[in-house]
Amino acid sequence: MDFDILTIFPDFFVSPLQEGIVRRAQADGKIRVRVHNLRDFAVDRHRMTDDRPFGGGEGMVMKPEPLAACVQAARRHEGESRVILLSPKGKQFRQAAAERLAEYDQLLFVCGRYEGVDERFCDRYVDEELSIGDYVLTGGELAALVVLDAVCRLLPGVLGCGDSVTNESFSCGLLKHKQYTRPRIFEELPVPEVLLSGDHAAIARHRFVESVQLTLDRRPDLLATVEFSPGEQKILRQTGLLERIQSLVRQQRSQSPQ
């Protein structure tokens, strides 16, 4: 899979792309990451990529010509690629979006800066806008790295353990259960005995209940979209969690706009 990053700060990506899973995925030929300097596509001798906004106002706006020229040079085939503008105005990036984007052959990340990007470029070239949260960054570079990392790890063969993808937070709609490793006792705090029992069914039940409890405590909004199997509902009923979840979901639906 190809990842192309369009930015005015290409050196920003030198170190992050040479660390961890992303570095290994590149070395193994699973992904290819290319960083494009937008200034190389500027149309004037000063290599300007921004200008004052029409109509007045604060700050600068990124010009459409360098962005369009860079997309045209980097994009392979329109049907297999996706041009994404990282912007606080975009739809919030979630795990489901990462899974959807992992189906493409090429993703092009446009890193916005200043007051934004000329809307005519967005109308003509951008397929979607994404935001990684309800806050404003100095530019889209950090957001591009977040999306790249989330998508990259979903690709076949990138992670050493394939089960990691399906058994993690958000992939099944719940937050992941708590994790423990050696030593068995740390500062007088022991590992839960069930994890040492060797009873795989009991361990699975413990982890499932713990995932539901964590989600209920920390991200109750996620539970409105989770569908529990009859067996899971039985476990939740036995632990008293099912009634709490049903009450919460009813409350959420009554408060949501019709």
Binding residues, by number, are 112, 132-137
The answer to whether 51 touches 22, Cβ cutoff 8 Å, is: no
Annotated binding site for S-adenosyl-L-methionine, which residues?
A: 112, 132-137
Q: Take residue 121 and report the two structure tokens written for it.
A: 């470029």
Q: Which of 43, 51, 123, 116 is nearest to 83 (CA)?
A: 123
- CA–CA separation, 48 vs 46, rounded Å? 5
- CA–CA separation, 115 vs 117, rounded Å? 7
Q: Take residue 33 and report the two structure tokens written for it.
A: 């990451």
The answer to whether 117 touches 85, Cβ cutoff 8 Å, is: yes
- Cα angle 132, 135, 140; round to 5: 55
- CA–CA separation, 233 vs 73, rounded Å? 53
Q: Take residue 162 and report the two structure tokens written for it.
A: 């394939």
Strands (E) across 98-243 are located at: 106-111, 128-131, 185-186, 189-190
The amino acid occupying position 51 is D
Phi, psi of 44, rounded to the nearest 5 degrees: -120, 165
Distance set, CA 94 to CA 47, 208, 211, 215 (Å): 36, 22, 19, 16
Buried b (16+ CB within 10 A) or exposed e, 33-55: bebbbbbebbeeeeeebbeeeee
